[in-house]
Structure 1
């Protein structure tokens, strides 16, 4: 039996099947919610904008570039949504506030 392919790539049957096979729980919620996954979508948009759509010669070099960018993103890049702090700083401030 062939299932029709849905146009919404992240809510498609194929995508959900692939997640289930890998025992990954999808993070998407209700269809049509404009706030669903906004943070994740903003993150990936920033990743694509800042490292581009390079075609790497190997998977290892792609991973290295992404991890280098992640270190920059978490420890040096300022974010307006967390008071012009880095994610690492915001996490530290949050933990300090919890401990107080």
Structure 2
């Protein structure tokens, strides 16, 4: 299991910085619009970027406290920290979920 920011340590600046990138916002938007608590493979988001760039995007999301990531052998599973984010920043996920895709 990869390190995770504690819920009370999630900072708005880090979250907004992570969400400033359209690829990362797409990942979060897809997770918001998926069934609650479903784990997805990091490769399932259709990001047209290299493997190293994809890894970087997920690292930024994880360090900002937006996602929880688990290594599963040759793949990584990711889930949205929906409860933590809704408690800390009410309405944020709804705004992201309603955004049009780029």
TM bin (shorter chain):
under 0.3
- Greater relative contact order (CA < 8 Å, ≥ 6 in sequence): 2
Instruction: Give TM-score, length-normalised by structure 1.
Output: 0.26
User: Which has a greater percent of strand?
Assistant: 2
Structure having the higher Rg: 1
User: Which has a greater percent of helix?
Assistant: 1
Instruction: Give TM-score, length-normalised by structure 2.
Output: 0.26
